[in-house]
Chains A and B, each alone.
Chain A
Amino acid sequence: MPLSGTFLADLERIVGADGLVRSPEGRLVYECDMHTFYKGAPDAVALPTGADEVVAIVNLCRRERVPIVPRGSGTGLIGGAMAPVGGVMIGTNRMDRILEIDLPNRCATVQPGLINLSLTRAVANSGYFFAPDPSSQMVSSIGGNVATNAGGPHCLKYGITTNHVLGLELVTGAGELVRLGGKTAERPGYDLVGVAVGSEGTFGIVTAATVRLLHVAEAVKTILASFTALEDASEAVSAIIAAGIVPAALEMLDELMIRAINEGTGAGYPKDAAAVLLIELDGPAAEVEAQGERAARICWEHGALEVRVAHDDAERALLWKGRKEAAGAVGRLAPTYLLQDAVVPRSKLPAIMRELIAIGARHRVQIANVFHAGDGNLHPLILYDDRVPDELERAKAANEELLLACIAMGGTVTGEHGVGLDKAKNLPFQYADADLNFMYRLRRAFDPGGIMNPGKLLPSHPACGEGFRPARPRVPEGAWI
């Protein structure tokens, strides 16, 4: 749907010539996020510098019924920040200022385009940090983190983005600038901040966020334990949690992943290991010391091959090195992969790993695993070579079967990446019509015109808006009439 000359001129009046990307090659940069499967370039990209410009753009698009796709740094993994039906993309990169740091009240207010790690860097000298730490934190924006309710390795202890957002300034799909929540810990009325976080740009565009800052822990201890069997590692995870220990992070890598990492990064994980556990504890020194010893003992009791403890920051970085470079290292095994983000109850880890191996064998695809074991959030990488006929099809089939297996075990289709275009079709695995219907109507309250990020987060439905109308319960008939 090409945009009219008048529309583009109006858009340029709002954001200025340097804030508008119109050329085909310029727009191509914005055709996908990190899930490069899904491509769709916007018809124009607007780069506003303030909330007033965002309001003007949304109202222009609303009037002309042009779809809007918000985008932060484009590091999402779900086909979220791309334009399947064209329209205007609103990039928040030029809104990247820290508006206020309020240490006595342990919060900061930032613009959406601010890079996640920049906030932590700004407050690190005072002993504070911003807790959500997606692997992309060096490049991903806080607006994007809010939109996808991003997680990260350390959310086992600290929670995901939603647990750290106090307030939002949001331009809704109706073109209204609203301030939701704020610095105080609570306020009367519905928790609009709570539902807006993770709404993936379907409610509107965040133009500022007030987020919590946490005090840096006194001590950190990182332990790497390797095992000859995946089951042993999985059981060690359960035993650590059962011992009442809540590590800051509890990550697992499987055999295939260990091999790729060893070959690719030289992280030096034990060669014979079928599983590696990365355990990080933080908190008061005495607690970290005691729980670290207990966690190490649990690993030994579960047949660990080796338990390494980092003694300083350099050693810590080395233990983490392999984990952080895992996705890149997989490139040595196959040209490309499908990345899954499903969750199972953590007690089901041994069962799902067995199932996963069986699924891989059935569909003749290799699956490498690196995941947040502590909260049961899997990240299987289903490897395929798109030059081999039907390998992608087999990978896709394995992917879907795996999702269904996770749901059957009481899990969920996405733990931290979000739904986007990629998993919208999978939501009916997890939700009944009534549940999806509720979500459709929730969306409509924020975006009555249906212009915000269409096609994302909810499965498309012929009767969109009234989609998935559930059956009503039976009420007694006849008995009393």
Chain B
Amino acid sequence: MKTLVRCSVILLSALASVSGIGYAQEQSDYAIVQGYQSKYKEILKQINQVQTVQECADVQTSIDDLERAYVDHRDLLNQSLYPDKFDEQIMKARVQLRLFQEKIGVIESQVVKIAQLESQVRQLSASVDSLSTANSALMGNVKNLEENVKTTGMSDKKLIDSLMAMISKLQNGLRERDQMIFSLVDSLFLQYDKDVTMLKDVEKQRIVGKVEKNGVLGHIQKSLEDNLAFVQSTDLTAPDLAKIMSEQQRFAGQWKGLGGKLTHLYSAGKQRTKEMQNIDTLLARWDQKATSSFWVALGAMFRQNSIDLGTFSDGNGFYRSFTARLDSEIQNPAKEGNDARYKRYTNFEGNIWKGVSASSWLPMLVSQGKLTEDQRKDIEKKVDDWKGTVSPPSTTLYIAIFLVIVVLLAALYVRMRKGKPAT
């Protein structure tokens, strides 16, 4: 059945791609040539208007983009364009731009550097778009898989593994997009190579234009909405949530830097404060949701290892509950036997303290200011003390039991021998 489904999917994909090719072939050559000509004319117009190094770089990038976009239609364009063919037109545009650069005294190496950054911006913008689409699809798949897991009642290990793998993939995808957005912003601001406060009004307007053209604020909002939806709709473990909280903090730090620049830029012209306020709100909601989910997940992780800490909703609450429990384990007021206590400690050590969790959540709580360094040291000392109060079940006891059994068996054997009548 599975093979049948897989075959159907492959067949449908193949049909879809074939029909896609068919559609592509049905494009009008005339429309392609007209589209190219209109963009080419626009570039020629821009060349005549360049005045700054950034404008020269913009036009250079536009020429590169135009050539790249139409390279697959080179033959058609070379046949159709008259009197200059495609290759000649592109060359002419480059030469004309160089002449204008010389005329206004712009150095070619500066143009090349800025054009490279601008090209990066455009590529990153396209990558952010495609990653957003991929992440939306992944989010849908995670939801479907979660429904399936709920239906099967956590009994299908393969399904749960698939879900965990998909969640991890989605988490990576979200993180990658966040990083890409800020790389895009960096490439955009690097083109100006000076502090925003030192920029002229015309330069500020150009950056604002680029920020809007590349949909920077829109990308940031979308990214935050997706991150928030991910935390709200997915059952995540404490270590996963710890990573998300770090990601949130990193994002907030980067937004703080960018937000300051944008406030300065927009004050010179168009107002975008509403969008920026919305970003601040989304960031705060993401932080709040990730943090509250983290405390719940951390309590659940302890409970799964037979350590009930009760409920807590902040670092101090966690510290109080955890240290109280550690004191109780150390003092052992109920005089519980060593074996049960030893087993509980080893579970704690393996699954919570020295597993992947210890390397992520405890230091992270300190770095985020949710626990103080003293609180951390105190917790670590108490865990050491707890370890000191338990010990593996004694081997001498086992040896003694073994010896008693041997002696008993020997006595039984001797008695049986004596009881036997002489022959």
Co-assembled chains A and B: no
Residues of chain B whose beta carbon lies under 8 Å from any beta carbon of chain A: none
